[in-house]
Amino acid sequence: MENSAAMRTWLDDLGLDHPLVIAGPCSAETEEQVLKIANELKDTDVNYFRAGIWKPRTRPGNFEGVGALGLKWLQKVKAETGMKTATEVANKDHVKLALEHDIDLLWIGARSTVSPFIIQEIADELKGTDKIVLVKNPVNPDLSLWLGAIERLYTADIKNLGVIHRGFSTYEKTKYRNIPEWQLAIELQQRFPDLPLICDPSHITGKRDMIFDVSQTALDLNYDGLMIETHFDPDNAWSDAAQQVTPTTLVQIMQDLRIRKETDEAKEFNSKIANLRAQIDVIDNTLIDTLGKRMKVAKEIGSLKKDKNVAVLQNNRWNEILGKMILEGEQRGLSEEFVLKMFKAIHQESINHQEKILKG
């Protein structure tokens, strides 16, 4: 993939003095509903009015969108309010209809991103378009699928690209609907720093009272914008009611969010941050050294188990370690979620080392 600088022009051309904001209902329900929400958002800092027209649901029987009829409602939004419009496309037929109705921004959902076949068909249909196309992360935390989708679209000469971070599914119960896994989005951002990165706190949280905090975290991490689901009567929305906010709440969120500077030129700031980063470097080296020593001990345990024909996995011992470390972590200000993730990774690496010894 070539240097991504050319893909940033659509965001630069907007000339915004604030992060990009895409807002509107999860689903277009009726023409009246769509127009009412749009009119409540038209004089705010919202840049694109979004509405789901086709709603791929995990299980059949739920509301799956009004279909192509809703595209005419989005045309009326543009005519009445002057707002630019956005919707999700899940296949090439959706793309064709959206282009025919002059939708300004298209996004590809998480369920579509997982399939290179679907992405390629969408890319072929969009080939050469000047529309803005945003790619949501795949359902599962697979960076290569996310990158692959971007590359397929770029190869189709679609240069107005961006990505949406909407979190990842997990079988574990957490406070999030979809766990953020911020590091994956940060890694993508590091690879393509000029590719606009939008956060979707509605799908990450699944709860309207968490949207502000996740939005602020995204802005603290230099995200370029937010996509927030907005409805005048969220509790009675036809889909994803719990994660939608009212236009009034959205405006308050936008007012309360703090925009951070990327850096500061003051000598005192740079001196202090250089010192703190040096401390971090020393601690990181110590961590790696300590982990290396831990794995060396794990190998010795593996050799002992091999000699006595003992199984690698010892659940009682593992649960004992986990419980103890969660308590230790809490005393040091570390969240249970972080401690679990860290020690599961350490445990898996220990198992890998021991299995090599048993098989050797």
Q: Does residue 276 share a domain with residue 249?
A: no
Q: What is the CATH number of the domain that holds 339?
A: 1.20.59.10
State the DSSP code for 17: S
For residue 337, what are the domain limits? 267-359
pLDDT by residue (tens digit) across 227-279? 999 999 999 999 999 999 999 999 999 999 998 877 788 888 888 888 889 89
State the DSSP code for 314: -
Q: What is the pLDDT at residue 5? A: 41
Task: Flag residues of the chain having pLDDT under 50.
Answer: 1-8
Neighbours of 144 (CB within 10 A): 8
pTM of the model: 0.81
Alpha-carbon distance of 209 to 202, in angstroms, equals 10
Split into its structural domains, the chain has a count of 2
Alpha-carbon distance of 179 to 303, in angstroms, equals 37
Last residue of a domain, one of 200, 230, 256: 256
Q: Does residue 292 share a domain with residue 222?
A: no
Q: What is the pLDDT at residue 58? A: 61
Q: How many residues does the chain have?
A: 360
CA trace torsion 4, 144, 115, 138 (10° rounding): -90
Q: Does residue 344 share a domain with residue 252?
A: no
Q: What H or E segment, with its residue span, contains residue 261?
A: none
Last residue of a domain, one of 233, 256, 279: 256
Q: Are 29 and 74 in contact (CB under 8 A)?
A: no
Q: Does residue 344 share a domain with residue 228?
A: no
* Tokens coding 271: 């001196």
Q: What is the CATH number of the domain that holds 150?
A: 3.20.20.70
Q: What is the pLDDT at residue 59? A: 63
- How far CA 299 is from CA of 32, 211, 267, 304, 349, in Å, comes to 66, 45, 48, 9, 11
Burial of residue 145 (number of CB atoms within 10 Å: 0-12, 13-18, 19+): buried
Q: What is the pLDDT at residue 101? A: 96
CA 81 vs. chain centroid, Å, equals 29
Alpha-carbon distance of 65 to 29, in angstroms, equals 7
Alpha-carbon distance of 25 to 88, in angstroms, equals 12
Let me know if residue 261 belongs to a domain: no
Q: What is the pLDDT at residue 57? A: 61
Comparing CA positions, the residue from 51, 48, 49, 79 lying closest to residue 66 is 51
For helices 143-155 and 116-126, the axis angle rounded to 10 degrees is 20
Q: Does residue 273 share a domain with residue 231?
A: no
